[in-house]
Amino acid sequence: MKQRHYLFLFLISFLLTGCGHELKGRVFLDQNNNNKHEQDEPALANMGFALTRNDAEVKKGKTDKSGRFKLDVDDKDGTYCITVVEADLLSLDVTRVALFKKSPLHSPFLKGEKWKFHFLNQAHAQVGIPREVNCDNGDDDDADGKKDCDDSDCANDAKCVDNNPPVEDPVDDKGDDESEKDDKKNEDGVSSTESGKACGTLSGSALELNIPIGVDYSAQLSNFDATQEREKRLSHITLDLHYPESCRVKNIDFPSFIEPVDAELKEKTFNPDSHEISLETVIAILQVRNACRRSNFETAIHDTIRTCPLEIILTNDGSVGDKQFSFAPKALCPDEKEIELPKTDIEVDGHDDFEVAQSAADNNGDGAWAPGEAVTIQTLVKNNTAMDFTDDDLELTLTTPSQVVNQRFEMQGGQCVPQANSGVCRFALRFGQQITVTTRFNLPNNIDQNSNTFSVGAKLEVKAKGETVPFEASPVVITVPVGNQ
């Protein structure tokens, strides 16, 4: 009698279970934004969603710790949609779920290898996770006991893809043939998929909806200044390289007057001939040193922004004068889109590469000017660069008023050629050296109130790297009081 009772209960339970229908699936981070779930794209745990049937809400729920959901529904007919809760897209409670590489479970009851979950929660994000940055150097970069392709960080590296077995479904334990049949059946039932939403109809007892969450790689970059301006001269500058950590930063060309300070970076990342620098290699080296930092926690739709400091030095490239450079790197993201990263504008103030200064003295030294008085102008030129210049490179032009008389120019170590109301001087000047040119003339004897001011100018032109750069001194202005005639 008891056996019949148990059999009756079993049949009732079987019939009730067989009448239901099941919706299942996952919410995943669509890193390449193609609305399809790829093997290496993480799921999103604790993500809220709403289930609707024919646009009417049926129930709400959250994904489990594996980023998946499973719902029972009564009606087979109609269009079912899973839509994520918009507020959760920016919630720090939503965590990314990835998979470690296979590792043996040390148990006498289990044989072979299994996959393990790896929860990328905010605790990890806060302290930063060391990464295996080079997948073929034979080193354990992140000191976790696993090298190169044996480290989960290299799971998606091109050098390691062939070594990785396909990811097993951690939820369903069905055989391969049955899973393929379910995938075919579920794919047929899906009617539409977009970021944050997937819809479909039940063509059998179950429907699987995988809801993609598109990633905006550039949005968080707006939190950083669009342009950082730096004004330096022959000194060190730290460039902050901000980038989404899922994107690959492209190489960039430095100008001839910039190179890395760090010896290892200079040797391994910088081409001194083309001045191209591999920023991806720079990042890899700095990450091994734990020099980079996480600038924010990731959310469901935003990638974590990392900041790596690149110290550069402004070097002597044979040019003089002001220089400008925009450090404007770009990155290629998993969706194959190129984004612009925050840039740094560098302005090198080169106005003091050469110092040109003038001073005037009157004949009797009383500081008061009178008609016909003798005037002496001292013009100092100093080379503040780290280069030597010949007399073919330097030309100093001194201009004098047209009213003065007896003008002449004197200097040692060069030659001045007098011209009408001017003198042109040529000379060589090694780095750190200076030279003085003396200009002498007499003020006119007849001065009225309309022509009692006299100006003397000095302009140095320097030829360097095919360009001529001017350096001018403040003019000397002599004013003769009219009442002194």
The full set of domains in the chain, from first to last, is 19-214 (2.60.40.10), 219-348 (2.60.40), 354-484 (2.60.40.740)
Kindly state the average pLDDT of the residues 404-422.
92
What is the distance between the alpha carbons of residues 343 and 225, in angstroms, rounded to a whole number? 8
pLDDT at 51: 96
Tokens of 209: 């909806």
Bridge partners (DSSP) of residue 29 are 213
For 43, 155, 356, the CA distances from 40, given in Å and listed in that order, are: 9, 8, 65
Nearest to 90 by CA among 306, 296, 301, 244: 301
Decide if pLDDT at 180 tops 80. no
Per DSSP, the three-state class of 474 is coil
Q: Give the alpha-carbon dihedral of 311, 316, 320, 324, to 10 degrees.
A: -20
Q: What is the DSSP letter of 392?
A: T
Higher pLDDT pick, 100 / 155:
155
pLDDT at residue 472 tops 60: yes
**Strand 374-383, strand 103-104: pairing:** unpaired
Alpha-carbon dihedral of residues 56, 62, 64, 66, nearest 10 degrees? 80
Mean pLDDT over 104-133 rounds to: 35
Q: Alpha-carbon distance 336 to 248, whole Å? A: 10
Task: Please name the residues in contact with 369: beta carbons below 8 A apart, sequence gap of 6 or more.
Answer: 362, 375, 443, 478, 479, 480, 481, 484
Does the pLDDT at position 210 exceed 80? yes
pLDDT of 400 strictly over 70:
yes
For the chain, what's the residue count?
Answer: 485
* Whether the Cβ atoms of residue 70 and residue 86 lie closer than 8 Å to each other: no
The structure tokens listed for 351 are 């106005």
The pLDDT assigned to 76 comes to 83
State which amino acid sits at residue 216: D
Averaged pLDDT score across all residues of the chain: 80
CA distance 67 to 467: 63
Rounded mean pLDDT, 58-76:
92
State whether residue 182 is helix, strand or coil: helix
Which one is predicted more confidently, 317 or 261?
A: 261
User: What pLDDT is recorded for position 247?
Assistant: 93
CA atoms of 324 and 347, how far apart (whole Å): 5
Give the residue from 308, 303, 307, 305 showing the smallest Cα distance to 335: 303
Neighbour count for residue 167 (Cβ, 10 Å):
14
In single-letter form, the type of residue at position 266 comes to K
pLDDT at residue 157, rounded to an integer:
60
Using alpha carbons only, what angle is made at residue 125 by residues 119 and 128, rounded to the nearest 5 degrees? 115
pTM of the model: 0.65
Collapse the DSSP code of 154 into the 3-class scheme (helix H, G, I; strand E, B; otherwise coil) and give the result: helix
Q: Is the pLDDT of residue 184 over 50?
A: no
pLDDT value of position 6: 53
pLDDT the model gives residue 297: 59
Residue 459: strand pairing partners: 397, 472
